[in-house]
């Protein structure tokens, strides 16, 4: 069993990376293989809305790292999406990835219908996978960024797990990398890992 973490922060050794890696480390204690992908090290171009994925059943943009990451999500049993809050939103590089993944994942499992027809969705490439968002802010802006990731996960047929509070970290005042001082945030991530582990194990039983 494997859980993949995707960190959308462009900063090295960021607060978002800390919380995401902490959660993955806890999942390892529950017997999971884990991997963290830092999007700052990858080249993922934004979706062009070309709808080439409708016929190709995969993204047709070839000159970047999207397909490599997408395939790892498809192969994993669980997914963590982490992002700092930038102006009340997730980062541009994470948005670029989930936009393309959402299109590719949907049309991999479905055919486009005519304007006069109704859809009977057959799931997505992510159906049945367990996932959770993690957002990080100095003070506020969490709600919309967290909701962005929740909306993406639910429309793409993931099974979303929570914790004993929203999966948010409070860190970065004055630009500091100080997530390790957020004891409450750490405890939330530990419990998130417990919940994810329990759900994935029950689904695999």
Report the CATH number at residue 37.
3.40.50.360
3-state secondary structure of 41: helix
Q: Tell me what pLDDT residue 195 has.
A: 98
Q: How far is CA 45 from CA 35, 95, 179, 202, in A?
A: 22, 10, 29, 36
Total count of domains within the chain: 1
Q: Tell me what pLDDT residue 53 has.
A: 97
pTM of the model: 0.96
Q: Tell me what pLDDT residue 191 has.
A: 98
Q: Which residues contact 199 (CB under 8 A, 6 or more apart)?
A: 130, 159, 161
Can you give the pLDDT of all 205 residues of the chain as single tens digits? Answer: 999 999 999 999 999 999 999 999 999 999 999 999 999 999 999 999 999 999 999 999 999 999 999 999 999 999 999 999 999 999 999 999 999 999 999 999 999 999 999 999 999 999 999 999 999 999 988 999 999 999 999 999 999 999 999 999 999 999 999 999 999 999 999 999 999 999 999 999 9
- List the domain range (segments joined by +) for residue 74: 2-204
Q: Are 156 and 124 in contact (CB under 8 A)?
A: yes
Distance separating alpha carbons of residues 154 and 54, to the nearest angstrom: 21
Q: Tell me what pLDDT residue 12 has.
A: 95
Q: Which residues contact 44 (CB under 8 A, 6 or more apart)?
A: 64, 65, 66, 69, 93, 96, 97, 100
Which among 71, 68, 76 is positioned nearest to 42, based on CA atoms? 68
Q: Tell me what pLDDT residue 181 has.
A: 97
């Amino acid at each position: 069993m494997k859980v993949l973490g995707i960190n959308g922060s462009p900063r090295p050794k960021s607060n978002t990376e800390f919380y995401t890696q902490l959660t993955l480390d806890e999942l390892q204690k529950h017997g999971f293989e884990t991997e963290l992908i830092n999007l700052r090290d990858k080249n993922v171009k934004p979706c062009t809305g070309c709808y080439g994925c409708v016929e190709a059943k995969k993204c047709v943009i070839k000159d970047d790292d999207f397909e490599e990451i997408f395939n790892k999500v498809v192969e994993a049993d669980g997914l963590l999406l982490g992002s700092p809050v930038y102006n009340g939103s997730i980062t541009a590089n994470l948005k670029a990835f989930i936009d393309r993944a959402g299109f590719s994942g949907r049309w991999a499992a479905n055919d486009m219908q005519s304007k006069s027809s109704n859809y009977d969705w057959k799931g997505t490439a992510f159906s049945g996978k367990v996932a959770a968002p993690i957002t990080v802010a100095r003070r506020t802006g969490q709600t919309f960024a967290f909701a962005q990731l929740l909306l993406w996960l639910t429309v793409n047929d993931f099974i979303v797990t929570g914790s004993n509070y929203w999966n948010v970290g409070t860190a970065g005042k004055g630009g500091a990398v100080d997530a390790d001082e957020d004891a409450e945030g750490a405890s939330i991530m530990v419990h998130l890992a417990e919940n994810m582990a329990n759900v994935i194990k029950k689904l695999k039983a």
